[in-house]
Chain A
């Protein structure tokens, strides 16, 4: 760099190139954030406004042109009379509560066991990472193969010990539990990784001190590890709950919401209204309602989380 430019005493004004690059440099703060702002306006703010507009309109595409008709609160009344909405809502809530509780407990047990191991830790981490990275569609097909009534792994194993296996995802009673089982396979690792990271950041000296003082392993866990781990657990549970509302791919592949409406979920139903019935306005209204439910939940959870943590 040539310092003389800055300290030059000559009265010659700097050329436009220098002035331009100086201008860029002084306003670099703005230039670097600008792409993000543009993306947020184009892909978040504008779509949100569109969503709001659509949720009070009928939207049709006629010969490549979008036709809007304002319908006010019509979609709200449709939703209140829609037989599937309460079923989908109930299924989603059952699903979310079941997977969050089961995955938290399972992941906590696995993470505690891994954190006390010195051997094979690499293997555990590697294998448990796989379900999080492979496409959920592949998870759906894999479990379709596993659950297949005739040729599936599960029924073949059951057949070996002389049990005629059920139809799993085609059975009204077993469909939702089957889906929950697939979700455990998919998402327990997520909780495991977060909890393990939390466990590894805890100071070990306190545990040692407590053990020296004669505390049992159960006491160490109950009175030291668990309270220290609480903030991590609260975060993990909150995140997992929010992500569980997004469930779509596996159910689309495994049951499509069936049999009947046994595994119908909010996200799936919104997609069906949007894509199969092509009622974009109504789909937008339902999507908006879901977004509001989740936002309220996030605010509520963060309040509680702050108090707990």
Chain B
């Protein structure tokens, strides 16, 4: 018995050390964001917390961060809406109708291909497309890139949820005289609500996190997102530690909220999307 408790002690000791290691950068960033510049320099653990960095960041006359936040929210919500509609329709079609295996394989193959390719491959073509459509440097251009980024995961998650619904349920509604559209919207979609939540949450967060597409498809605050704004703090000669930390912590908030409230959906979605192949 004694050996067992020692083992458990060691196990939890190790795991808690990893937990602390994971949390240190986050708390250090939060701490820095709440410090005056002189406290950052002195590096003392005892300091009077101040919100001045956040105030500076979110004050429209001093920084465009609020504008970037609006863009980020708009882009994430827009991507989520488009991707959920396309992905749920496609997943429904692929899992409920008899597609020829060749078609099915082709579509799934292309989706896998997009998922595997580094986003940098799509940069120049998307740049040209956004120029040609006159949407360069607007949220719409960034949404275009984010659809590529998020569509595969959303489709895989929803395919799995559709596959779990027994065929009889839909057949019953069709026999009762419902059209396929009615059966989809009134029977199927309500059943896969957890799947929609999972796909939606991940799509939102993947769009919110993205840096590369937003960086290359925008140049001004008209279309720029939070990550691009944060990176410009770092590029400047005099690094503004306080605002940099405040911006980074601010950018983490949606992720932290999701971890706190939608964790179940996210873990399932992530491992499912990953294990699909």
Contacts and interface: CB of A to CB of B under 8 A. Distances in A.
Contact of B93 (A33, A39, A144, A275): A33
6 contacts: A64-B131, A141-B230, A194-B275, A236-B274, A274-B216, A284-B124
Interface of B: 8, 11-12, 14-16, 18-19, 21-26, 28-29, 32, 40-41, 43, 85-87, 89-90, 92-94, 97, 99, 107, 110, 113-114, 116-129, 131-132, 144, 147-148, 151, 155, 176-181, 184, 205, 208-212, 215-216, 226-227, 230-231, 233-234, 241, 244-245, 247-249, 251-252, 255-256, 258-260, 263, 266-267, 270-271, 274-275, 277
Given A3-B177, A130-B256, A142 B29 contact: yes
Given A66-B132, A136-B209, 18 more contacts: A3-B177, A28-B97, A36-B87, A37-B107, A54-B124, A125-B263, A126-B263, A132-B270, A137-B227, A137-B248, A138-B29, A151-B241, A190-B274, A194-B271, A248-B211, A249-B211, A253-B234, A267-B118
Contact of B211 (A117, A136, A151): A136
Interface stretch (A9-17, A71-79, A287-295): A287-295
A25 B120 contact: no
A166 interface: no
B252 A134 contact: yes
Listed from nearest, the 6 A-B pairs whose CB atoms lie closest are A1-B177, A47-B125, A32-B93, A133-B255, A36-B90, A137-B227
Interface in A1-48: 1-3, 6, 21, 24-25, 28-29, 31-33, 35-37, 39-40, 43-44, 46-48
Nearest to A51: B125
From A35, A117, A238, name the one whose CB has the most chain B CB atoms within 10 angstroms: A35
B20 to A, nearest CB: 9
A245 B120 CA distance: 10
B124 A283 contact: yes
A183 to B, nearest CB: 13
Nearest to A39: B86
From B15, B41, B85, B252, name the one whose CB has the most chain A CB atoms within 10 angstroms: B15
Chain A interface size range: 35 or more
Given A33-B89, A274-B123, A130 B14 contact: no
A6 B117 CA distance: 50
Interface stretch (A82-90, A108-116, A172-180): A108-116
Contacts of B263: 125-126, 129
Contact of A275 (B14, B122, B216): B216
A164 B247 CA distance: 29
How would you classify the secondary structure of chain A's contact residues: helix, strand, loop or mixed? Answer: helix
A19 B271 CA distance: 44
A105 interface: no
A113 B14 contact: yes
How would you classify the secondary structure of chain B's contact residues: helix, strand, loop or mixed? Answer: helix
Interface of A: 1-3, 6, 21, 24-25, 28-29, 31-33, 35-37, 39-40, 43-44, 46-48, 50-51, 54, 59, 61, 64, 66, 110, 113-114, 116-117, 119-120, 123-146, 148, 150-151, 153, 156, 185, 189-190, 193-194, 197, 232, 235-236, 238-239, 242, 245-246, 248-249, 252-253, 267, 270-271, 274-275, 280, 283-284, 287-288, 290-291, 294-295, 298
Given A51-B121, A145-B241, A36 B89 contact: yes
Contact of B267 (A36, A46, A193): A193
B133 to A, nearest CB: 10
B40 A151 contact: yes
Contacts of A44: 110, 113-114, 148
A254 to B, nearest CB: 9
From A134, A267, A280, A283, name the one whose CB has the most chain B CB atoms within 10 angstroms: A134
A54 B179 CA distance: 46
A114 B211 contact: no
Contacts of A64: 131
A135 B28 contact: no
A274 B22 CA distance: 35
B8 to A, nearest CB: 8
Contacts of B131: 61, 64, 66
Contacts of A142: 25-26, 28-29, 248
A142 B233 CA distance: 13
A47 B213 CA distance: 14
